[in-house]
Chains A and B, each alone.
Chain A
Amino acid sequence: MDRSVMAAMLRDMLLARAFEEQAAQEYAQGNVAGFLHLYPGEEAVAVGVLHAAEPGDYVVSTYREHVHAIVRGVPPRQVMAEIFGKKDGISGGMGGSMHLFDRERRFLGGYAIVGETFPIAVGAAYAVAYRKLPEAVICFFGDGAVNQGTFHESLNMAALWKLPVLFVCENNHYQIGTEIHRHSAMVEVHKRACAYGIPAEKVDGMDVLTVHGAARRALERVRAGDGPQFLECETYRYRGHSMADPGSYRPAVEVNAFVANDPIAAAIHHAEPHYPSAEELQCVGPDCVHRFTEHCCAEGHLDPAAVEQLRQEVGAIVQDAAAFARQSPAPEMVDVQAAFLRNRRFETLMEDPQ
């Protein structure tokens, strides 16, 4: 793979991690309220899949969507401002953390009702196919969402009508506090797609290169007109379900096992050419060290200076985003009215690409 693609993916993973940890801090300091569902641990999924996508593709996500939005190019400033509920937020402070929408970047939203996104994605895919456009629709969802009736109904229709949609299950094994074996009779999520004849693959969602490769192949099939494709990415969230959830239902050994398998550490290993010192490894963060060290020992190449530079770069972006969000004005009631019941008449919401 091209080194620059690798570096870009690593940068996005580091940015994602730093952004979410900053959001958590802002929450702890009382600058942000609500639920705030964070993504650390799962970065390889969003980054791997979205780096395999084209800029014109549409993305539908859940309430755990900050990272999907950022990787799609939504400015971290505007994501953070939305989390703060400010006027400069990507949804004008009306939506909040769970409802990021970016028309320009074809980010069709974060949604808070589990399972309601399947029909939305299939509908978008229908519109794409109907208008004979070249784009794909990518639909992210969790392991808990596949027990909603809409999952089955939507997969059936997507397959029946051969629609250009890639379903990506972020299987982190938990539906809030309910472990997958207690919420699903069939825990191998990708097998459910077989019921509708949809090609499905299960990949290690902690390894960004694996995810990227599988997503690229799946999207190629979507674009070739083969109809919907399905990817199950096995992953783990390090934090509780949201900032309002301590996550105490999960055994510590389980959490630690996944932290040792950190996807960012794995990505750094692939992207860097030289071997780092122990001190330099430290700054990647304790949760990454284990896997990082192992890989580096085995392969013997990594350049810590480059990693450090990326870390500083994303750190500055995140600090800037937080400062921007803090000073952004709050929306007013007139903004509410402007967001509500706007009859746009015959305007086409998503224009054809130029």
Chain B
Amino acid sequence: MAEMMYWQAILRAHDEEMARDPLVFAMGEDIGVAGGTYKATTGLYAKYGDQRVIDTPISENSYTGIGVGAAMLGCRPIVEIMSVNFSWLAMDQLMNNAAKIHFMSGGRIRCPFVMRVPGGTAHQLGAQHSARMEKVFMGIAGLRVVTPATPRDAYGLLKSAVRCDDPVVIIEHESMYNLKGEVPDAEFFTPLEGVEVLRSGRDVTLFAYNISVHWALEAADYLAKDFGIDAEVVDLRALKPMDRAGIAASVRKTHRAVVVEEDEAPVGVGSEVMAILNEECFFDLDAPPLRVHALDIPIPYNRRLEKAAIPNAAQVVAAVRKLLGK
């Protein structure tokens, strides 16, 4: 078991998959000679050459489509979009083609396409570089959407995504590339579906994904220490398809739920989880579930306002206390 950073885990997954399968290639802006904005492809250009590690022009929609076209012929492209904010420009190819070609061909043509995007709100990058777009991707039928919260999952999910015959969007986080964590030395695959219970508890379930997992874990520690509340933390991890059974199973045990999302609330992960709770286990709930989420505004540049727009562990603690009346 080695400790490594999130970016190193992504790099390792790229390297192993490219070494194994010559049909795997990577493309994106500045991923080759410059090694990637977040270093996640460092050294691959030297190792695999410019036909397999492709520096692209600023043409997001077209190189995404090029990835899709190549995937139709059996290649396994890993397309990196430098920031999730630029994937808006690639949405036509992603939504109209990647997500639908398998279906439109009557299941005859596969599209094993992977898109990696750093998402989330980082540090004063302004309104056009701070969007969280999970709600957009998870609303598209035909895509799989996963979000690693740890180096272990950053590795395991990319490995699984490359082997998957469906198009997969992996949402990473700009603030997590230097996050350290244990990653097993032996090869492994994190499933593209299913939740993971990261902390077992009896009183309330905190549903989280990507960076909000860390807020939930931090909040759970406070809740235990300062308020004697035993919170369960569930990493949703796969946002599409969502693990309905896994979500319901936790709430059948704890009877209370708080969803923690970095995105603004309308039409998001929180509303989806609450709909699932409603449909799967409404009568197991002891209280109406709550959402902790970003404010419904573009992210302000000023640091204090930026932080105020995004949730944190303290807000999770407050929501749980409200839910339990403590």
Contacts and interface: CB of A to CB of B under 8 A. Distances in A.
Contacts of B129: 35, 98, 112
Contact of B128 (A91, A112, A115, A144): A112
Interface string A82-97: 1001100001011111
B324 interface: no
B33 interface: yes
Contact of A34 (B58, B88, B89, B126): B126
Contacts of A144: 57-58
B31 to A, nearest CB: 10
Contact of A98 (B55, B126, B300): B126
A98 B62 contact: no
Interface stretch (B134-142, B302-310, B311-319): B302-310
Contacts of B128: 98-99, 111-113
Contact of B125 (A34, A94, A111, A332): A34
Contacts of B57: 144, 147, 175, 178, 183-184
How many residues of A sit at the interface, in one of the four size bands? 35 or more
A115 B58 contact: yes
A176 B86 CA distance: 15
B298 interface: yes
B30 interface: yes
A290 B177 CA distance: 42
B29 A331 contact: no
15 contacts: A35-B125, A85-B124, A94-B300, A97-B126, A115-B89, A147-B59, A149-B61, A175-B29, A178-B30, A178-B33, A178-B34, A184-B57, A249-B33, A332-B305, A333-B308
Interface residues of B, number: 33
B298 A340 contact: yes
Nearest to B55: A178
A145 interface: yes
Interface in A163-204: 175-178, 182-184
Contacts of B123: 33-34
A127 interface: no
Interface in B112-161: 123-129
B2 interface: no
A330 B302 CA distance: 7
Given A176-B29, A177-B33, A340 B297 contact: yes
A114 interface: yes
B282 interface: no
B48 interface: no
Given A34-B124, A34-B125, A113 B302 contact: no
Nearest to B92: A149
Contacts of B55: 178, 182-183
A160 interface: no
Interface of B: 29-30, 33-34, 55-62, 85-86, 88-89, 123-129, 297-298, 300-305, 308-309
A147 B58 contact: yes
A224 to B, nearest CB: 33
A91 B157 CA distance: 41
Given A33-B123, A34-B124, A340-B297, A176 B30 contact: yes
The winner among B58, B61, B86, B88 for most chain A CB atoms within 10 A is B58
A331 B59 contact: no
Contacts of B303: 33, 85
A111 B305 CA distance: 20
B85 A113 contact: yes
Contacts of B86: 113-114
Interface in A135-165: 144-145, 147-149
A310 B98 CA distance: 58
A336 interface: yes
B94 to A, nearest CB: 15
A113 B125 contact: no
Given A34-B123, A113-B89, A93 B301 contact: yes
Contacts of A86: 302
B301 to A, nearest CB: 3
A332 B308 CA distance: 10
The winner among B57, B61, B127 for most chain A CB atoms within 10 A is B57
Given A33-B303, A144-B58, A183-B58, 13 more contacts: A85-B303, A94-B300, A95-B127, A95-B301, A148-B59, A175-B30, A177-B33, A178-B34, A182-B33, A330-B302, A331-B300, A331-B302, A336-B297
Nearest to A91: B301
B124 A330 contact: no
A332 B305 CA distance: 7
A304 B8 CA distance: 54
A33 B306 CA distance: 12
A113 to B, nearest CB: 6
A177 B301 contact: no
A336 B300 contact: yes
